[in-house]
Amino acid sequence: MTENMVDIHTHVLPNVDDGPKDWEGSLQMLRRAAEAGVRLLAATSHQPGGRRGPRPPLPAVRTMVDELNARARQAGIPVRVVPGGEIYLTEEAADLILAGELPTLNGTRYVLVEFGFDEWPPNVERSVRRLVDAGYWPVVAHPERYRVIQEAPERIYPFLEMGCLFQVNATSLTGYHGQDPQRLAVWLFERGCAHCVASDAHNAHSRPPVLTGARDELARRFGQVVAERATSTVPAAILAGEAIPAMASCCC
């Protein structure tokens, strides 16, 4: 099983949202990632900000990522960080993405979006369609945690038909978020509708950038090929801006 995993969803930059408060907290997260076999991860601070604090503008995100990589090299931590953002997809946020003012995943056409846990933003399907029509590939963060999907899983189908990818949280597969997210995460993988796993890490302790538990759970349930695709092959393709492997495409 690979020890070269890729994590496309982390809150690793310091003092910008509900992630670490300082550079040492960020380095602690990278150490945990390295110990757990992650070698590449995306720094996806909340965008456009809101209640979690002011969003860092795109140039600041790139500068902070460069600084974190320099500090990691100096500390001997073998993890590379690339820029990104977790974007709450309102119509206004879609405007900012299309204007090039919000960070995509490593500067590619993949963009990590979230919809809201209890209710979705107004006109979210229209916002997704605008991104897809403009050549972006939305990656929906942690769909298994959205109550509206837990109550009616068929709500995923319009987004899948538009070409969205679904990213499941590692902590959902291992039961950290409770039974409902865990059941839905397994359901998504059973139907081939989940494309990758990410940590959604916020710190080095209770929510670290670790994928091993989810990888092992996927291997137990679905085999090592599925586990490796979800934790390495597909997320690596996303951060490289490449099409995901055909066998990993959704088959719901």
What DSSP element (H or E) covers 173? Answer: helix 170-173
The 10s digit of each residue's pLDDT in 193-219 is: 999 999 999 999 999 999 999 999 999
Distance CA 165, CA 137 (A): 8
Cis peptide preceding 83, ω within 30 of 0: no
* Cα 30–chain centre separation: 16
Q: Per-residue pLDDT for 127 more than 90?
A: yes
HSE, side-chain direction, 13 A CA sphere, residue 94: 22
Whether 211 and 5 have beta carbons less than 8 Å apart is answered as yes
Residues in a beta bridge with 197: 168
What are the sequence ranges of the domains in the chain? 5-243
Closest CA to 44 of 12, 21, 6: 12
Residue 4 DSSP SS3: coil
pLDDT, position 247: 52
Q: Per-residue pLDDT for 174 more than 90?
A: yes
Distance CA 33, CA 29 (A): 6
What DSSP element (H or E) covers 226? Answer: helix 224-228
Average pLDDT over residues 40-48: 94
Average pLDDT over residues 25-34: 98
- Give the pLDDT band of residue 60 (cuts 50, 70, 90): very high
Taking the model in full, what pTM does it have? 0.94
Round the average pLDDT of the chain to a whole number and report it: 93
Q: What is the CATH number of domain 5-243?
A: 3.20.20.140
Distance CA 40, CA 91 (A): 31
Average pLDDT over residues 57-68: 95
pLDDT, position 218: 98
Lowest mean pLDDT among 45-49, 70-74, 85-89, 90-94: 45-49
- Give the pLDDT band of residue 53 (cuts 50, 70, 90): low
Distance CA 136, CA 174 (A): 31
Any alpha helices (H) in 20-143, and if so which ranges?
23-35, 58-75, 91-98, 124-133
Taking every pair of Cα atoms in the chain, the longest distance, rounded to a whole number of angstroms, is: 48
Radius of gyration of the chain (CA): 17
- Give the pLDDT band of residue 2 (cuts 50, 70, 90): low
Helices and strands, counts by H and E, the chain: 11, 7
pLDDT, position 137: 97
pLDDT, position 121: 85
pLDDT, position 207: 95
pLDDT, position 248: 45
The 10s digit of each residue's pLDDT in 221-252 is: 999 999 999 999 999 999 999 999 765 444 45
Whether 52 and 58 have beta carbons less than 8 Å apart is answered as no
Q: Per-residue pLDDT for 55 more than 80?
A: no
Q: Per-residue pLDDT for 71 more than 60?
A: yes
> Over pLDDT 70: what percentage of the chain?
94
Closest CA to 169 of 159, 178, 160: 178
List the end-to-end C-alpha distance of the chain, in Å, as a whole number: 26
Average pLDDT over residues 111-122: 91
